[in-house]
Amino acid sequence: MTTPAPGPDTTSEPPALEIRDLRFRRRDGFSLEIPRFGLDAGRECLLAGPSGCGKSTLLLLAAGLLDPDAGSIRIGGREIATARGAARDALRASRIGMVFQTHHLLHGFTARENVAAALLFAGVAPREHHARAGELLASLDLDRPDARVDRLSVGQQQRVAIARALAADPDLVLADEPTASLDPENARIAVDLLRAACRDRGAALLVTSHDPALVDRFDRAERFADLTARAEAAA
């Protein structure tokens, strides 16, 4: 795994993601314990590990889509694990962008409308949606903003998903196996595009993947097993 590259001083900003003493257990017996994990503002990290090890579960917890049994999860210094209802939804919409393995785009809607939906949930004024969505898609070299997403290629759909994740200028982008449905060449392009887009907008980026080819592309890469091993060592 790689060592984090030196970067700008971010001590004045709270971490984009800070996890402490996290414990989670599903009804089927799967459990996850992470004593400590953090990602500074504007930085990137790849969490590598095989399918089924808990990477996706961690991202769902970080996004407030699952509730931990114990522990703290802070996004930009704000606690999401204990936020409830509308407060949690607002925190997620304004501070977190997500890129899913299968995109979860709104089919029947255009690329621009998919990005505008993220702006709507983030509370951006409707009069700004059209222009902002178009500008963001153009910055990602998507030249068909008014095409329905089901008529775009898989690679183009990935660009729409990245644009949607970045629409509200989040503190943190969570990407769950973002290259799993892409061929090697398009996977390389998508990862480079995602990294560059987050860097340009100052968003921290946390990517999970089982693809070993991605490890050397990130400034910081960690094995997911090492996060949980720390819990076993402390027991």
Domain chopping of the chain, boundaries: 43-67+84-223
139, 153, 169, 185, 218 from 222: Cα distances, Å: 30, 31, 26, 23, 10
What is the structure's pLDDT at 10?
A: 46
**Cβ-based neighbour number of residue 61 at 10 Å:** 22
What is the structure's pLDDT at 81?
A: 86
**Cβ-based neighbour number of residue 1 at 10 Å:** 12
CB 182, CB 215: distance < 8 Å: no
What is the structure's pLDDT at 71?
A: 96
Q: Which is more confidently placed, 184 or 165?
A: 165
Asked if residue 119 has pLDDT above 80, the reply is: yes
For every residue of the chain, DSSP letters joined together read -PPPPP----TTS--SEEEEEEEEE-TTS-EEEEEEEEE-TT-EEEEE--TTSSHHHHHHHHTTSS--SEEEEEETTEE-SS--HHHHHHHHHHHEEEE-TT----TTSBHHHHHHHHHHHTT--HHHHHHHHHHHHHHTT---TTSBGGGS-HHHHHHHHHHHHHTT--SEEEEESTTTTS-HHHHHHHHHHHHHHHHHHT-EEEEEES-GGGGGGSSSEEEHHHHHHHHHHH-
Assigned CATH topology for domain 43-67+84-223: Rossmann fold (3.40.50)
Which of 2-16, 174-188, 195-209 bottoms out in mean pLDDT, i.e. has the lowest?
A: 2-16
CA 164 centroid distance within chain: 11
Instruction: Name 23's bridge partners.
Output: 33, 70
How confident is the model over 183-195, as a mean pLDDT?
Answer: 86
Q: How confident is the model at residue 232 (pLDDT cuts 50, 70, 90)?
A: low
Q: How confident is the model at residue 230 (pLDDT cuts 50, 70, 90)?
A: low
Query: Under the phi-then-psi rule, with left for phi > 0, alpha for psi from -120 to 50, and beta for the rest, what region is 108?
Result: left
Residue-averaged pLDDT of the chain:
89
Q: What is the pTM of this model?
A: 0.88
- Separation between Cα atoms, residue 58 and residue 85, nearest integer Å: 20
- Separation between Cα atoms, residue 113 and residue 146, nearest integer Å: 8
At 61-107, the pLDDT tens digits run: 999 999 999 999 999 999 998 898 989 998 998 899 999 877 789 99
16, 35, 110, 228, 229 from 235: Cα distances, Å: 28, 11, 51, 11, 10
What is the structure's pLDDT at 235?
A: 53
At 70-82, the pLDDT tens digits run: 999 999 999 998 8
What is the structure's pLDDT at 6?
A: 47
Q: What percent of the chain has pLDDT over 90?
A: 60
